[in-house]
Structures are given as C-alpha cells and as structure tokens.
Amino acid sequence: MQRSNGFTLIELMIVVAIIAVLAAIAIPAYQGYVAKTQVTAALAEIAPGKNGVESALATGNASLVDAAYVGLATPTSHCSTVVASLAADGSAQISCVVVGNPQVVGASLSLNRDAGGQWSCEAPSLAERIRPRNCN
C-alpha cells in the first residue's frame, strides 16, 4: 500500500475556488468602505471652516470670507477644490469637490449654514451608502 504525502490536484483546485469566491465578495465591500472613509475624511477637512465663518460673522468681516480666510487649504488631500462663501443674510456654504476612489471622484460635499445659524451637510451626488450619517 502506497502512502499519500500531500494534496491532490482536485483538493488544491477546490481551495483556489473557495479563495476566489471570498475575494469576489470582499473586494467590492472593501472598495465601498474606502470610498466612505474618503468622504468622511473630506468632511473632516472642511468642518473646521465653520469656526472661521462664525468668527467672520461675529467680527463683521463677511465680505472677506473665502477658503483661506476661514482657515482652509485648497486643495487638500481629499478635496480638489474648497470654496467658502458667506451671504449678507448670514447664510454660508463651505463646499468641497472630493477626490480619491472612483466612486467619489468629482462628487460635491457641502456644509451649509442657514440665516438662523444652523449647519447642515449635503452630498446629493453621492450614493446613500457612501454619505456620512449626518449628510442628506
């Protein structure tokens, strides 16, 4: 009787097939997580601009507001363009054009301030599964 030392070709093919199925499921999920992380990072990069806008309103410098004035760099590591604006009624917008994963490239993300001082986040061009929780 001959003793077997190793795996047969069929056993190896089954293992390769199982790994391929797992990869086919995991890679798209991973790319979705990467896209969501990039959008969240972009939002975190423009969020400090809210303090600059509030400061401009408090000091009466509304006409000076731009991205640099509110303390935002343009471009950033996750935004190709950052724009900040403040209207005479106190409403404001800080927007970012997202870069990174193909699912998010060119998407617009904005923080909007209404005349009453409430901030909201909007990302209409992003799929709901990629948007940060507090964004519409």
Instruction: Express each pLDDT in 7-61 by its tens digit.
Output: 889 999 999 999 999 999 999 889 889 999 999 999 999 999 999 999 888 888 7
| pTM for the structure as a whole | 0.80
Residue bearing tokens 């209404």: 114
Tell me the domains of the chain and their CATH numbers.
Answer: 9-122 (3.30.700.10)
* Tally of helices (H runs) and strands (E runs) in the chain: 2, 4
* Interior angle at CA 131, CA 82 and CA 83, nearest 5: 10
Signed CA dihedral, 28, 76, 97, 123: sign only: positive
CB 18 within 8 A of CB 26: no
Residue 75 CB neighbours (<10 A): 14
Q: What is the pLDDT of residue 62?
A: 78
